[in-house]
Homo-oligomer: A and B are copies of this chain.
């Protein structure tokens, strides 16, 4: 490494030259003021799948590596930035290579950290180097730094957030336009808000990676993506969006993590949020997060979850942290103290719920439904029956008071068995926010 006195030039290798990689290269070359601890960050090597592909950044003068692991191992860079993505494959190999070479790593790879974060943290700390991943969750909105550092003086009890901008965009547009999921998804793909294969986003898997990382930071446990309950938005009917609104709610894909004496519950579900709640108000492609700490109380943050500008700025902030040499553990506590968490049985979790059934227009239906619920131990908070054209039956929607999930499932089964009920009732949770 080169330097002048205590000012130092840090050489940066960047693997992955998509939107974020190009944004980072442009940022570092255009930002003469970016001088953390008086040093400079200069890109000295790049790697991607295709050298010749058209890009919004000029890489012709930069040393090229076909193999990201070779870039990671090269002695010609001091910091390795991984922007390839994917929990396994070249990203994992390259990150491990960099850490084993004693090199600080900055990554935007949520799948990698959610699925292999504990082992990578152990490797990083054994080498005494930072492993930073602000850009992996909520893009330019600094939730990772907030949980890792600002909340170190508190015990966090729960997190609830909107962590996937694709799903937020789709649900917001479904409500605004009244059009069904498939139509709005197609538009989102055309506009670049959704991928050609949208499964990771609309299936809830991306949000689950992100909430697993945040839960680990919040609770001092190892990230445990495998224990996350995941339900995406691909079954959301425009009818539910309308009727939830009639009852005063908006449907959002809520990713949540709760810690109790029984353990930790991490889940991603389409859930109802009260219309005037900040999470319900965070529309379009925004991301948003509620953090509840024992001492601090409730902090809410919202901002851009993706995009070249915001995400590159988050990567740059992590590079600045490397350059200012903070010796923190990767998560909130040292890697060896990251306990595997005890997953709580979700069927014991208590929440309020929204149920929607389609019923035949016959006498006695409301009586049958409400008696069934009462016998099952479910207490009704709101109830609405409202004929809707082309619904295939008469929709009934209701919200319940708080009850255990196992009781809800059992009640739904009984109601599905009533003669007047046309199909399996739809169940959505009301977010605990």
Contacts and interface: CB of A to CB of B under 8 A. Distances in A.
Contacts of A300: 300-303
Given A38-B334, A334-B38, A151 B317 contact: yes
A interface secondary structure, majority: mixed
A158 interface: no
Interface in A1-33: 27, 33
A293 interface: yes
A297 B140 contact: yes
Contacts of A303: 296-300
B154 A150 contact: no
A312 B295 contact: yes
B153 A142 contact: no
Contacts of A312: 153, 295
Interface in A251-267: none
A406 interface: no
B296 A299 contact: no
Interface stretch (A185-193, A319-327, A359-367): A319-327
Given A278-B278, A324-B328, A325-B326, A299 B153 contact: no
Interface residues of A, number: 55
A309 B296 CA distance: 6
A329 B150 CA distance: 18
A309 B327 contact: no
A152 interface: yes
Given A37-B327, A152-B320, A278-B278, A140 B296 contact: yes
Given A303-B298, A327-B325, A313 B153 contact: yes
Contacts of A297: 140, 303-304, 307, 309-310
A107 interface: no
Contact of A140 (B295, B314, B328, B333): B295
A153 B27 contact: yes
Contact of A134 (B34, B150, B334): B150
Nearest to A314: B153
B278 A316 contact: no
B146 A146 contact: yes
Contacts of A141: 296, 299
Contacts of A111: none
Given A153-B320, A154-B313, A317-B151, A296 B301 contact: no
A315 interface: yes
A327 B310 CA distance: 25
A242 to B, nearest CB: 20
A301 B314 CA distance: 17
A334 B6 CA distance: 13
Interface centre among A276, A301, A307, by most chain B C-beta atoms within 10 angstroms, is: A301
A34 B154 CA distance: 9
A215 to B, nearest CB: 17
A199 interface: no
